[in-house]
Chain A
Amino acid sequence: MVNETLNLPAGQAGLKNGIEILREDCLRPLQKWGRSTLIWIGFLLLVIGWGLYCYIHQLRNGLGVTAMRDYVSWGLYISTFVFFIGISHSGTLVSAILRISKQEWRRPITRSAELLTFVSLLFGGILPIIDLGRPDRLANIVIFGRVQSPLVWDVISICTYLVGSTTFLFLPMIPDMALCRDRLTVCDSRFKKFRKWLYTKMALGWKGTKSQWHTLELTMTTMTIVIIPVAVSVHTVVSYIFAMTLRPGWDSTVFGPYFVTGALYSGSAGVILGMAAFRKLYHLEKYITLKHFDLMGRIQLALTLIYAYLNLNEYWIPAYKMATAEGRLLTDLFYGSYSKAFWTCQFGTVMLPIIFLAIPKLRKPLMISITCIIIVAGAWVKRYLIVVPTLLHPFMPIQEVPESWSSYFPNYVEFSVTAACLAGIFLIITLFSKLFPMIAVWEVEDGLKIDYDKQAAIYLRTKREEEEAKILEDRLKTGSETIQQPA
C-alpha cells in the first residue's frame, strides 16, 4: 500500500488512498440489502416465531410439555446455556488477550469476535430464564436474593460480563459510527433517516480530536484489563452450579478450569467461523487474510490441546478409581447408552481437530472452517453429556417410575425454543453486519498507519545507510588519495 518510490508527500497520498479503499470496502456491505439477505432474515424470523409459539405453549402448560422430568430436571436448555456462555468467551480471547499482548494482526477480526460475545451472552442469559418454572417470579432473585447461591453468582457475573462486553463492543465502534454518520447518509441505503439518527446518536459527537482519541485509548485499555477476569469468572461460576453439588460427575474440583478452557476452545472456533463467513460474504479477503487463519488455527490448536488435557484429568482420574456412584456414571459413559456420543466427542471433536490443526497445510479457510464446525458441534454435545447423564445416575436407584422418567431426549418444544435462540443469535449478527461495519475501520487504519510508518522508517534507514555508504566510499576514495599524496 505504501508508495514504492516514497518521496514522502507521494507516500502520504498512497496511505490516504489505501485508507480510502479500506473505508469503501468496509462500508459497502452496509449500503445494499440483497434479496438473499431478506430471505435469510425472513427464515430466521420464521424460526423465532415458531420458537416463541412453543415457549408460550410451555408458559401456559408448564415445563411438563418438555421432555424433562423429576430425574432429568435440567436438559437441553441448561446444556445450551452453558454452551452459549462458552461461545461468549471468544470476544475476550481475541480482543482483550490479543490486544493486551499487542498482536497487530488482530485488528480486522476484533469487531466480529466482540459481537459474537455480546450476542451469545445475551441468549445464554435468556436460556436459564426460559428454563425457569416461574419466570413471573424472576424479580424474587433481586428481592430475596441469597449471595450463597451459585445461581446468584451466575446472575451477578453474567450481568457484569454483559455490561462489560457491551461496552467493549461499543467503545471501538464510536469512531466508526462517526465515519458512517459522515459518509453513509449521502449514499442510497435503506432506512436512511433512521440510520442517520442512529449513527449520529451512537457517534456521541465524535470529532476525532486529540483529547477524544486519548480518552478512547484510555478507556479501551482499562476495559481490556477489566474484562479478562470478568470473563474467566463467568464460566467458572457457571461450572459452580454443577460443581457445588454432591452428584457424581459434577462433584469435581477441576470443573472451573475445565469449563473455562472448554469455553475458550469453542469460542475461538466460533471466531474462526465468523471470520470465514464474513470474509466470504462481504468480500473482505484483502483484510482477513490466510495469515489470520493460520494464526487463529495455531491458537485454536493450543486451546484444543489444553482442553484435551483437562478432559484427561476430568475422566481418567475417577475412571482409575471407579468409586461406586461415579463408577456407575462412567460405565454408562464409556460402554453404555451414552458411549457413542461420548467417544465421538472425545476422539472426533477433540483429538481429530488436534491433528487437523497441527498440519500447516490444513490451516486454510475451508479446511479450518470444517474443523471449527466439528469443534463447535462437539462442544455443544459435550455440554449435554456433562449435564444429562449425571442426572440419570443419582445416588438412589431409579425405581418404579414411568418409563419416560428414567431416560431423556429433548422433545420438539425444547428443540424449537433452542433453535429460536440460535436463530436470534444469527438474526442479531445479520442485522448488525448490515447496519455497522464488521471490521473496525479505524483500528485497521491505525494498523495501516503503523505499517506505513514502519516501511517509511525502513525506507529512510536504507536511504540514509546508502547515503552514508556513499559518503564513506567517497571518503575512502579521497582518503586513499591523501595517503598516496605524501608518498
Chain B
Amino acid sequence: MKKVKKYNNITGRRDFLRKSLISGCVLAGGAIGLEKVFSGENDSGEKVKVLTPDGKVFVANSDHLKEFRPPPVTNEEARKGIPNRKFVMVFDLSKCDGCKTCTAACQEMHFTESDREWIKVFKMKDATTTAPYYFPKPCFHCDNPPCTKVCPVNATYKRQDGIVLIDNERCIGCRCCMAACPYSTRFFNWSHPDPRQVAATANIPYSPEQSLPRRMGTVEKCDFCPDMLREGNMPACASTCPMNAIYFGDQNEDAVTNASGVTVRLSQLLEDNAGYRHLEELGTEPRVYYLSPKNRKYPVPDMESPVKKQGKAMPMEMDMGNMKM
C-alpha cells in the first residue's frame, strides 16, 4: 500500500533520492498496474491496459493480473540501514500551528488507530510566565538511545543511518523500552488490531521497515518511514505539513527539505534560528531538532482547549502543489 508516497515525489530534486530512481520507476509501474487491476476487479475477463516496469503499455486480461508488491528488504538490510545516510528532522516551532495534518498523514500511512499518534502535537507551556507553543513530537531516533540499550532480545535497534527500528517478529513485549524512553514515544499493541486494519494490511510483506501487519503484544513507534526513504520520498509527516514546519534530510549532506520542496543547509538553519534539541540534558542525543517559536505565524495556542482535531487524513489524491501557503 504505497499510496501515500504520491504526496510528494522529490526524486528529481535531491541527489540521494536520485540514486533510487530506477527502483522508484519500477514501483511507479507497479502502482499503476495495481490501479488498473482495482478498476476492473469485479469485471472478470475485462481487458485492461497495463504499464510494465520497462515503460511499455499492453492490454491484458484482468484475470491474469496479480497485485504487484515490491519485495521487502531483508531483515539484515533493515537492520543495517541505508548506507551513508544520517537522517535528521527539524521542526520549526514558529510555523507549527497545531493543525495535526502530520498526525493524520502518519496514521493513514501506518494504518494506526485514531488514539495512537506516532507523531503527537503537544501544547507546551514551560512556565507560567512563558508563552505557550505547539510542539510536534515524533520518535527522536536518539544517537544514544535508552530504549535499544534495555531491549533483552535486540528487537529494537539503532541503524547506521540513525533510525531506531523495531522488529515486531522478534519483540517479546516486555515493555522495557517503553519504560526506558523518556519521551513516551513507544506504543504497545495491547489488543488484536482492528479487523478492518488487518484486512488492509494483510497482504503487505513484513519488514521491520514497515512494521506491518502489526502484531498483538509487540511495541511500535515512529520509524521515519524508512520504506519511503528507500524509494526516495520523505516521511509522511514531513511531506504533508501545510505550514512547511517540518524539514527532513540527511545530516551527511547537511541539507534538509520541507513539504514545499525548499531545501536548506541544516547547519545554517540551526545557526540562524537557534536550533536546539528537546531535553538535551538527558544526554540521549536526539536526531530531531527544534527551532524556537520566535516570530510565530499563528496565534498563541489556548492552553485550555484541546489541540484542533483534523478528523480525517487528507484525501490521497490531493496534490501537494496546491497546498502551498
Q: Which residues of A contact B (CB under 8 A)?
A: 61-65, 68-71, 73-74, 128, 131-135, 137-138, 140-141, 143-146, 148-152, 155, 241-242, 244-247, 391, 394-402
Contact = CB atoms under 8 A, between A and B. Distances in A.
B152 A155 contact: yes
B256 interface: no
B258 to A, nearest CB: 24
| 10 shortest interchain CB distances as A-B pairs | A133-B173, A133-B217, A64-B190, A64-B191, A149-B152, A151-B152, A62-B191, A144-B153, A134-B217, A140-B153
Given A137-B170, A140-B172, 5 more contacts: A61-B191, A131-B175, A145-B152, A146-B154, A245-B182
Given A150-B150, A401-B115, A396 B176 contact: no
Interface string B178-197: 11101110111111100000
Interface in B90-139: 115, 120, 122-124, 137
Residue of B155, B175, B179, B307 with most partner-chain A CB within 10 A: B179
B71 interface: no
B60 interface: no
A133 B218 contact: yes
13 contacts: A61-B192, A62-B189, A62-B190, A62-B192, A131-B174, A134-B218, A155-B152, A244-B150, A394-B184, A396-B137, A399-B120, A399-B123, A399-B306
Contacts of B189: 62, 133
Contacts of B307: 399-400
A255 to B, nearest CB: 14
Contacts of A73: 175, 178-179, 188
A214 to B, nearest CB: 43
A266 B182 CA distance: 31
Contacts of A398: 184
User: Which of A71, A149, A399, A401 is the most central at the interface, judged by chain B CB atoms within 10 Å of its CB?
Assistant: A149
Nearest to B309: A400
A22 B145 CA distance: 61
B151 interface: yes
A394 B137 CA distance: 14
B: interface residue count bin: 35 or more
Contacts of B188: 63, 70, 73, 133
Nearest to B123: A399
A369 B180 CA distance: 39
A150 B151 CA distance: 8
Contact of B170 (A63, A140, A394): A140
Interface string B297-323: 000000000110000000000000000
Contacts of B219: 133
B180 A246 contact: yes
Contacts of A133: 171-175, 188-189, 216-219
A144 B170 contact: yes
Given A140-B170, A394-B184, A400-B306, A146 B178 contact: no
Contacts of B187: 70
Given A70-B187, A152-B152, A396-B184, A138 B172 contact: yes
B282 interface: yes
A401 B172 CA distance: 25
B296 interface: no
Given A146-B153, A396-B122, A69 B190 contact: yes
B169 to A, nearest CB: 9
B146 interface: yes
B130 to A, nearest CB: 13
A151 B179 contact: no
A141 B190 contact: no
Contacts of A132: 172-174, 217
B170 A399 contact: no
Nearest to B178: A73
A141 B179 CA distance: 18
A74 B175 contact: yes
A99 to B, nearest CB: 35
B124 A397 contact: yes
A63 B115 contact: no
B274 interface: no
A386 to B, nearest CB: 12
A61 B217 CA distance: 10
A70 B170 contact: no
